[in-house]
């Protein structure tokens, strides 16, 4: 349920420092029906991002046609992971973007996903009481392992690479982590998107990412209602409709100064977001 997702983000924002949370994987998603400025899942993802947590989100499994990237993966700030198929080989020449992997552009016109990672027939540990058994083969114990496909798998892979980058560069911001992950890319035949390379990401020349993007208006409204202030910027009392968003220098806002513990998501207008999205299954 959407309210459960909101509660999870609320916990994350309040406890991220105590538990040293630097990377968040979101193997969830739903159809993007509006701009990210009016999308609650996008606003939540950005809240985590601006609080210092790099967010990786699944692109969705509605390919190969375009305009199918799910939210929150459609948010321009986050690292959006699509899937490639390694064809069951160890060589890279036969890798191809998975047919099921969602492609952009998003509702707002952003090219997504940002990067590709393995996402077809990947073997991993399964949650005994949660994850489906998938198409488990007899080469491993299906009680503890599952073979699954989907951009949910790819997202987890990319989140792992992001965590490696952060462990190697402890001072990296989410934006610098994204730049390193995208800077590690190798070409995939037939696709304009590149595949992440874990080892290369540690020393890669960072891509210039997230330049001139505008934070979610829904996020800003939520902060304003909570009386949250940034560095020299008071959101309280701003008439949001009258803001010239393009003229705001967001780099001047010290997001670290935001007291996320004071943010109340209960004030969000749920009816403007739509019904609870279906969050089940690999996205």
Domains recognised in the chain with CATH numbers: 2-211 (3.40.50.200)
Residue 159 tokens, joined? 């989140």
Task: List pLDDT tens digits, range 83-122.
Answer: 999 988 888 888 999 999 999 999 999 999 999 999 998 8
For residues 12 and 8, what is the distance between their CA atoms, to the nearest angstrom?
A: 6
Task: List pLDDT tens digits, range 60-74.
Answer: 999 999 899 999 999
Task: List pLDDT tens digits, range 177-204.
Answer: 999 999 999 999 999 999 999 999 999 9
For residues 198 and 22, what is the distance between their CA atoms, to the nearest angstrom?
A: 17
Residue 71 φ then ψ, to 5°: -100, 140
Longest dimension (CA), the chain: 62
Output the CA–CA distances (angstroms, integers) from residue 27 to 5, 11, 40, 56, 169, in the order listed: 12, 18, 16, 8, 25
For residues 221 and 238, what is the distance between their CA atoms, to the nearest angstrom?
A: 9
Residue 207 tokens, joined? 């891509």
Task: List pLDDT tens digits, range 226-283.
Answer: 665 555 454 444 444 444 445 545 545 555 566 666 666 655 554 443 333 333 333 3
Note the pLDDT of residue 140. Answer: 64
């Amino acid at each position: 349920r959407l309210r459960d997702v909101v509660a999870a983000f609320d916990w994350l924002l309040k406890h991220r420092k105590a538990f040293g949370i630097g990377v968040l994987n979101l193997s969830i998603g739903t159809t993007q029906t509006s701009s990210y400025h009016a999308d609650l899942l996008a606003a939540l993802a950005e809240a985590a991002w601006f609080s210092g947590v790099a967010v990786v989100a699944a692109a969705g499994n509605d390919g190969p046609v375009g305009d199918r990237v799910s939210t929150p993966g459609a948010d321009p700030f986050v690292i959006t992971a699509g899937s490639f198929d390694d064809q069951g080989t160890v060589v890279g020449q036969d890798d191809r973007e998975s047919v099921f992997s969602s492609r952009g552009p998003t509702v707002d016109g952003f090219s997504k996903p940002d990067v590709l990672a393995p996402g077809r027939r990947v073997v991993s540990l399964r949650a005994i009481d949660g994850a489906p058994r998938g198409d488990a083969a007899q080469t491993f114990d299906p009680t503890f392992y599952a073979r699954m496909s989907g951009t949910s798998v790819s997202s987890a892979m990319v989140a792992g690479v992001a965590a490696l980058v952060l462990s190697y560069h402890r001072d990296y911001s989410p934006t610098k982590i994204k730049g390193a992950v995208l800077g590690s890319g190798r070409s995939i035949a037939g696709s304009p998107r590149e595949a992440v390379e874990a080892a290369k990401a540690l020393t890669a020349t960072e891509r210039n990412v997230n330049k001139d993007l505008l934070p979610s208006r829904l996020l800003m409204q939520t902060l304003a209602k909570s009386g949250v202030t940034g560095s020299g910027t008071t959101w309280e009392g701003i008439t949001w409709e009258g803001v010239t968003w393009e003229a705001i220098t967001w780099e001047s806002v010290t997001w670290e100064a935001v007291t996320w513990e004071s943010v109340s998501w209960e004030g969000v207008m749920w009816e403007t977001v739509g019904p609870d999205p279906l969050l089940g299954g690999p996205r």
